[in-house]
Structure 1
Amino acid sequence: MVQVQIQDILSMEWLSAPVATLVAGDPARTCCGCVIDSRQVEPGSIFVAFPGERVDGNDFARSAIEAGAACVALTRAPEPELIACAESHGCAILSIESGEAFLLALARFWRERLGCTVVGVTGSIGKTTTKDMLAQILSTTYRVHATAGNFNNLIGMPLTILSAPEDTQVLVLEMGMNARGEIEQLSRAARPNIAAITKIGTSHIGMLGSRENIALAKMEITCGMQPIPEGAEVGEPHAAPVLALPADDDFFPFLLEHIADYTPGIEPVRCGAHAGCDYQRGDIALDDEGHPHVSVELPDCRSLEVALSTVGAQTVSNAVLAIAVADRLGVAGEDIVRALGDLTVTGRRQEIRRAATGARVIDDSYNASPESMAAALDLLCLLPATGSRIAVLGEIGELGDEAPRLHELVGAYAAAKKLDYLVCVGGEDAQHMARAALLMGLSDDAVLVLEDTDEAIARLAGIFAQDNVVLVKGSRFVGLDRLVEEVC
């Protein structure tokens, strides 16, 4: 974890501005570790206070000091009593304008001190799965530290870097965003040597306005990219930064066209099914449990026969991106194949579970977008079923003015899959899904609209009969994970 003297923190800048000034304490004090929750403070930690709508981290500065923090970074002026408390405990107090800027600058410092190779992953869909794949593959060969879960925002990603051990050889970092400019900040802190963009979808279209703007936001991952330096333990020194791209995605030409707009000299690596791809996959076959089998041709004419432990054909594109990055970092083919066959991904992403009744449940309740809804419906209809195929679909968030149209498209797609039953959970957008499904051919007795997850729990026990296969998917705010836990 991060080790830094306070005097080094005082010299840091972010976006050409100092990130901290010393209010009290010894600038020669060394700190070890960084937390934003005072309950996690250990002796020597840096505690960073974030003001919130309901809880203000500045209110917990005394608790952090008394728990042994070496430094507290505060966004409001400390009272004299707090300064006296800090001085009596040998704790420094820093004044900061922004907790996010402070963390990003500190993360940049520690990333450079580590001197490791950094892999960045972003995209609208599949970035957490791709990150999980990369972490597991690269761990067969190197000491890897990776984003936990989807800790991928302006707070989570810096904390991931700051928790990396000193002997880390590869950092695998997931980068998410809610607005333009956020991934650029993450990239400038992480300084990736290799990056992957998974797919350009419609997530956040309500905030960004168009898929073109979403694509440009994802391309910000290149803003901080740098070649692998001399002396790095992993990768070829002085090679150009590498950007792995999904050549099968309809926005691939757009991404390729705009690479030079951000950082010159980046080497694009094409991954997909098309001839001419640097990493070319063959046809995908799914076994009875939905696990994909695929052949991937590497640039040196080697071929890998991969059997994924994940489910659904859509995970193959993530795997090919991960294979490309791992191959460029020198991981042996047999290690890549073994890791992908044993992969454990972050939960509630097309996880096939058993209900207490024996029904198979596709738990994809973590989040949703129109594209991932379609992929989940594809999987539902590919799995063998002697009973009914049923989809319980919650509303999709962050679609803005496009929400009605995109929910209607999901409903129409569900109708085209000829489901036995479709349950739409939520308010007006759930109604849009249901109406489109009815318009496109599902019968009245095959479509049900429920107001919320509580009503779903109360009314849907009967759909989990032993021979049925049930997909449960929706955005996080719908809370359909509670339905899954109720029945499994």
Structure 2
Amino acid sequence: MIHMSVDDVARATGAEVLLPGSVDVAGEVVIDSRLAAPGGLFVAFAGERVDGNAYLGAAARLGAAAVVASAEPAPEALAEARECGCAVLRAEGDDCEEFLLRLARAWREAHPDWLVVAVTGSVGKTTTKEMLAAAFGSQRRCHATRGNLNNLIGGPLTVLSAPDDTEVLVCELGMNHPHEIERLAAACQPALAAITNVGTSHIGILGSRENIARAKAEIVSGMRALGELPRTLALTSSCDYTPFIEEGFARPAGVEVVRVGAAPADAVRAESVSLDDEGRPTARVLCSDGWSREVTLSVPGRAAVDDLLLAVALVWRAGLDRDAALDAVAAMTATSMRLDVREAPCGARVIDDSYNAAPASMASSLDVLAQMACPGRRVAVLGEMGELGGEAVRLHGYVGAYAAAKGVDLLVLIGGELADAMAEAARTMGLSEDRVERLATVEDAVRVIAPVLGAGDLVLVKASRAAGLDGFVRGVLQR
């Protein structure tokens, strides 16, 4: 929570004070008026379906010390605020997104002793964030991004919601467009950062993987040292764009780079990686100073090992106990809707990875499906992926071909034209017609597929969030 006078809020953000309040802001910053609480600050976004400016008075009645409008407040809202002693501000340019970013930056700068750790990347950033939070949280008072609230609104809210006793702040930075990572990094100002990889997510917006790499590399622009701890960026040596980011962005900015992976020259590397029948990886983690440790993760999939290496690199860089950090990471459970293995009443096991998807993460999840023990059928229920632009048909085709190469017993494809592209590629790669099921909607899939699943079956469910495949998971689990 923040502690600032209304005038200080206005100075930090450029907002205009329309009505001075009777108390300072001392509470949570929220964007949902129903969550407004005594002493807090409500920021009124004008959304497509709900206009927060209609709820300025409601937030004042709940005790908010101040409300921020993104349009001319209604006279009755001003009257209610005045009656409640609530300040009313208007965001500069009616831009509440920029208001939050500026406020977060000011609050971050008021806490120069925070160790801020940030992570971005095309795939795996939420898992890496959770590992970082567990690792640092095992030894320091740690606050981290909730869920995947990693955009230009969720990012600053993470900074602004840090408890008073925070020592380490772990921030996940997401983006859809150029300069978004730059703006988020300016708000949180990390000393330590990691880029998980450069994939094809948002290639429809950014145009090329090189542009995606440039966007991820923007994290460097906001980094700042913490005392004697220099700015350090951890990168995976297996990513083909790591040299591009290191030489083109990190080193020119004076940011040190730590590489992780399987190469002998990597500062942190993994050896003897194996997966058990549940897809959980075991690996020996080694650091260039001679430290090593074997660990088994509860998060399934070989890709989780690289995420772990990034976390170990930054914990080591911060001078913390790596053994304690690994103990904490090993005790983690799967994040909801991200490779979360659940038992259905019919006896099938469901790998719920329905939260989001990109071509690389689709392949990684199909690897998990192929590697886990399965006495029954291996079933892949896949939906469409978003923001791939002109590459969408080709990249969906790759996913269908990869599913066929993995030898799934049943490939269920949900959606429209892009699902057709996956189906066509799977058939071209030799998956027989009786092993490919095309369905238009999630409801169709629940109706057709859920009744035929049984004991011993292993079912992967994955798509972009907009596809709504979490509805299929619910349908299976509720039968």
> Could you tell me how far 1:387 is from its partner in structure 2?
1.6
Match of 2:108 in 1: 111
Alpha carbons of 1:184 and 1:329: their partners in 2 closer, same or farther (altered >3 Å)? same
> Could you tell me how far 1:365 is from its partner in structure 2?
0.9
Q: Which runs of 5+ in 1 are unaligned?
A: 229-236
Residue 446 of structure 1 is aligned with which of 428, 435, 454?
A: 435
Residue 12 of structure 1 aligns to a residue whose secondary structure is: helix
Match of 2:319 in 1: 330
Q: Distance in 1 between matches of 2:40 and 2:145?
A: 20
Figure out how many residues of one structure are paired with residues of the other and give that number: 474
Match of 1:238 in 2: 228
Residue 339 of structure 1 is aligned with which of 328, 337, 350?
A: 328
Asked if 1:316 is matched to 2:311, the reply is no
> Could you tell me how far 1:88 is from its partner in structure 2?
2.1
Return the letter of the residue paired with 2:56: A
Residue 396 of structure 2 is aligned with which of 394, 400, 407?
A: 407
> Could you tell me how far 1:79 is from its partner in structure 2?
3.2
Question: Does the 8 A contact of 1:6 with 1:31 survive in 2?
Answer: no
Alpha carbons of 1:200 and 1:84: their partners in 2 closer, same or farther (altered >3 Å)? same
> Could you tell me how far 1:260 is from its partner in structure 2?
4.2
Return the letter of the residue paired with 1:249: C
Question: Does the 8 A contact of 1:7 with 1:27 survive in 2?
Answer: no
Match of 1:151 in 2: 149
Return the letter of the residue paired with 1:179: H
Question: Structure 2 matches for 1:45-194, cutoff 5 A?
Answer: 45-96=40-91, 97-115=94-112, 116-194=114-192
Question: Does the 8 A contact of 1:7 with 1:28 survive in 2?
Answer: no
Residue 249 of structure 1 is aligned with which of 226, 239, 247?
A: 239
Question: Does the 8 A contact of 2:339 with 2:351 survive in 1?
Answer: yes
Residue 183 of structure 1 aligns to a residue whose secondary structure is: helix
> Could you tell me how far 1:80 is from its partner in structure 2?
3.3
Alpha carbons of 1:82 and 1:469: their partners in 2 closer, same or farther (altered >3 Å)? closer
Q: Distance in 1 between matches of 2:409 and 2:288?
A: 45
Question: Does the 8 A contact of 1:305 with 1:337 survive in 2?
Answer: no
Q: Distance in 1 between matches of 2:280 and 2:387?
A: 30
Asked if 1:461 is matched to 2:450, the reply is yes
Residue 172 of structure 1 aligns to a residue whose secondary structure is: strand
Residue 249 of structure 2 is aligned with which of 245, 259, 262?
A: 259
Return the letter of the residue paired with 2:86: C
Residue 253 of structure 2 aligns to a residue whose secondary structure is: coil
Residue 219 of structure 2 is aligned with which of 218, 221, 234?
A: 221
**CA offsets per residue over residues 48-86 of structure 1, 9 Å max, x none?**
100011110000001111111111111112233332322
Please identify runs of 4+ aligned residues in structure 1 that moved more than 3 A.
26-31
Residue 293 of structure 1 aligns to a residue whose secondary structure is: strand
Question: Does the 8 A contact of 1:3 with 1:33 survive in 2?
Answer: no
Residue 447 of structure 2 aligns to a residue whose secondary structure is: helix
Q: Distance in 2 between matches of 1:29 and 1:269?
A: 43
Q: Distance in 2 between matches of 1:127 and 1:410?
A: 21
Compute the RMSD of aligned alpha carbons: 1.4
Question: Structure 2 matches for 1:285-296, cutoff 5 A?
Answer: 285-296=274-285
Asked if 1:24 is matched to 2:19, the reply is yes
Question: Does the 8 A contact of 1:147 with 1:172 survive in 2?
Answer: yes
Q: Distance in 1 between matches of 2:23 and 2:86?
A: 11
Match of 2:201 in 1: 203
Match of 1:232 in 2: none
Q: Distance in 1 between matches of 2:295 and 2:49?
A: 48
**CA offsets per residue over residues 121-167 of structure 1, 9 Å max, x none?**
10000000000001011111000000010010111111111111111
Q: Distance in 1 between matches of 2:83 and 2:357?
A: 51
Asked if 1:2 is matched to 2:2, the reply is yes
Q: Distance in 2 between matches of 1:392 and 1:55?
A: 34
Return the letter of the residue paired with 1:418: G
Return the letter of the residue paired with 1:392: V
Residue 385 of structure 1 is aligned with which of 371, 374, 384?
A: 374
Q: Distance in 1 between matches of 2:74 and 2:348?
A: 60
**CA offsets per residue over residues 329-358 of structure 1, 9 Å max, x none?**
222132122112101242111111111111
* Farther off after superposition, 80-89 or 465-474: 80-89
Q: Distance in 1 between matches of 2:286 and 2:345?
A: 42
**CA offsets per residue over residues 173-196 of structure 1, 9 Å max, x none?**
000011101110000010111000
Scaled by the length of structure 1, the TM-score of the pair is: 0.95
Question: Does the 8 A contact of 2:347 with 2:455 survive in 1?
Answer: yes
Asked if 1:302 is matched to 2:286, the reply is no
Question: Structure 2 matches for 1:405-444, cutoff 5 A?
Answer: 405-444=394-433
Asked if 1:350 is matched to 2:345, the reply is no
Return the letter of the residue paired with 2:107: W
Scaled by the length of structure 2, the TM-score of the pair is: 0.96
* Farther off after superposition, 382-391 or 285-294: 382-391
Q: Distance in 2 between matches of 1:181 and 1:351?
A: 32
Alpha carbons of 1:433 and 1:30: their partners in 2 closer, same or farther (altered >3 Å)? closer
> Could you tell me how far 1:239 is from its partner in structure 2?
3.1
Question: Does the 8 A contact of 2:3 with 2:24 survive in 1?
Answer: no
Return the letter of the residue paired with 2:233: L
Match of 2:460 in 1: 471
Q: Distance in 1 between matches of 2:25 and 2:337?
A: 40
Alpha carbons of 1:85 and 1:360: their partners in 2 closer, same or farther (altered >3 Å)? closer
Residue 223 of structure 1 aligns to a residue whose secondary structure is: helix
Return the letter of the residue paired with 2:149: F
Quote the sequence identity (%): 49
**CA offsets per residue over residues 413-441 of structure 1, 9 Å max, x none?**
11111121111111000000001110110
Residue 424 of structure 1 aligns to a residue whose secondary structure is: strand
